[in-house]
Amino acid sequence: MKNNLFYLVLVLVISSCSSPEPRKPIIRKTSSFMSESVERNKVLKNVEEEIFRQKMENDSINNYISSEHGFWYYYKEKDTLNNKLATTGDEVIFSYEVKKLNDSIVYSKEELGDKNYLVDKEELITGLQEGIKLMKEGEVVVFLFPSYKAYGYTGNERIGSNEPLIYTVQLKKIINKN
């Protein structure tokens, strides 16, 4: 009887342990919001590029350079002797001014003062992060940043949503921390 009970329990245990069934994924339809947002941003990017293109064409004095990061710039003061650029981890001291496309000043150099920045280690708008790494000590560069390289969709108290900006930056000092 003990053997029969043992076999009965064994059969029950084996038969109750069936393989687990995986859960079926929930199918969700993606909203059209993302695709509409992508299309809206492409149109905005093209509009801003056209505005900058016209601004650069109308400026016969300066030689604009197109960066691989999606903005344009020219040198007001260029250092041809020094070849030291700021790299990740270096501390830089710089001053800058921010203007709208109509050349009205949003933030002046005097208002902002000198800024200390650890390259790629601190928060800064992406255009300025990338632009500072193109500069040598003592140079003054004017950057044309599309809105997505500046304050983007959010803007701030003085800068509107999706507003392209002009930055004039003077790199005063590079302190090598590496």
101 lies in some domain: yes
pLDDT of residue 129: 95
44 lies in some domain: no
User: What 3-state DSSP class applies to 110?
Assistant: helix
142 lies in some domain: yes
From residue 121, alpha-carbon distances to 3, 5, 59, 99, 115 in Å are 73, 71, 35, 26, 14
Q: Which residue has the tokens 């007001």?
A: 76
18 lies in some domain: no
The total number of structural domains in the chain stands at 1
Q: Which residue has the tokens 């509107």?
A: 160
Q: How many CB atoms neighbour CB 175 within 10 A?
A: 12
Domain membership of residue 139 as a residue range: 62-178
9 lies in some domain: no
Interval 12-40 mean pLDDT: 70
54 lies in some domain: no
| Rounded (10°) CA dihedral 154, 157, 162, 168 | -120
Q: Per residue in 75-118, pLDDT tens?
A: 999 888 888 899 999 999 999 999 999 999 999 999 999 999 99
* Residues in Cβ contact with 105 at an 8 Å cutoff, skipping those fewer than 6 apart: 97, 98, 99
131 lies in some domain: yes
DSSP letter at 70?
A: S
Q: Per residue in 36-85, pLDDT tens?
A: 888 888 898 999 999 999 999 999 899 999 999 999 999 999 888 888 89
The CATH number for 76's domain is 3.10.50.40
